[in-house]
Amino acid sequence: MNHEMIFNVENGGFDENLNHRIIEINDDDRNNNDNEQSVNYLEEKEDDKKEEEEEGEELDITTDYEYFDVIKDGGIKKRIIQEGKGEEHPPTDALCVIHYIGRRKNGDIIDNNFSKKTKNFFQFNIGRGEILSGLDGGIQSMKKNESAEFILRPEYAYGKMGCPPRIPANCEVVYEVYLKDFVEMPDDDKSVRSLIKKAEILKYEGNQLFKRNAFRKASKCYNRALDLFKKKSDLLNITPKESYDIKQIKLVLYNNIAACFLNLDQHKKSVISCKLALEIDKDNLKANYRLIQNYLATNDIEKAEELLKYALKLYPKNKSLKKEYRYCIKRIKEEEEKEKKRYKYLFTDKKK
């Protein structure tokens, strides 16, 4: 990162005391080992990039199946190189401690805070515009001790103009980042709007995990989002609009958790989430539909039929509900046929 362009110590609000606190937190043997691993890793990667640059090979940075979108428009793509530790992600304003190497598509290194001599880390406060917006957004998806690679479209990096001569106009760039640690700053923003925004970020992260069939991890993301609204002290004096927005995001989160547990065949947990969603909106299509699916999966045909009739009154043209209803009726008829055969055999045995 060009420090002159994206990091200003005077305006960045850096606290020397906080710097010492970071060092104290990370000065144990375990973290020193992590530090050494990150240094060795970046040394190897830096050497690899120099070799590729000398050979003039163009790197393929767009076809790796391991990449996934960090944001909806695909402007920030991520590939996890080394899994992090714990479940926490750096919140807005957190002081982050990182190593990074930035390069162009052809492998040219454009930005590098790593030095084999000093092995210094770069420190910045997330969410304050101190680094490239794409890196800011990408690092918010990382965990402590995680290494990841990010592909940034121009609008999330150096823009249309670039930064000549090193970075041409409309240049897509790649950054490898190691998140050594982060320290959460005192959070003065306990506004409902801030909580909703954090919940939306966690929801989107959960959705990305869900798409990769990581249902258990996705459910944890959704639950962390719900936990934001547990403290009643944070929800005092809220406006009707804020109250409505909280209910809507909780409704989506409960539905998503229900879908996770449905895919994991944990039907009791899925049913609980469906019912919590229906407490918010008893006519919600997704909550009713997933509850029906759970009932059918657990052979509770009567409850499934009753709920299907109710849901079809609300959504008479819904194809999925119609399909489930036909399947339910088929199951009922099959059960009736089995009952008739049982009675027939029972009656025959009595005659004998």
Kindly state the greatest CA–CA separation across the chain. Answer: 100
Q: List C-alpha distances in Å: 129 to 7, 166, 331.
A: 8, 22, 59
pLDDT of residue 45: 52
pLDDT score, position 128 = 79
pLDDT on residue 350? 52
Q: Give the CA-trace dihedral at 18, 144, 97, 186, to 10 degrees.
A: -30
What's the pLDDT score for residue 54?
Answer: 42
159: left (phi over 0), alpha (psi -120 to 50) or beta: left
- The contacts of residue 89 (CB under 8 Å, 6+ apart) are 140, 141, 142, 143, 205
Structural contact between residues 293 and 265, judged by C-beta atoms closer than 8 angstroms: no
C-alpha distances in Å from residue 305, one per residue of 258, 272, 308, 312, 327: 20, 19, 5, 10, 10
pLDDT digits (tens, 9 = 90+) for 86-130: 889 998 878 888 999 999 988 999 988 876 555 668 888 888 788
Q: d(Cα 262, Cα 277) in Å, to the nearest integer? A: 15
Residue 7: CB atoms within 10 Å: 20
Positions in the chain short of pLDDT 50: 1-35, 39, 41, 49-64, 188
Q: Are 224 and 202 in contact (CB under 8 A)?
A: yes
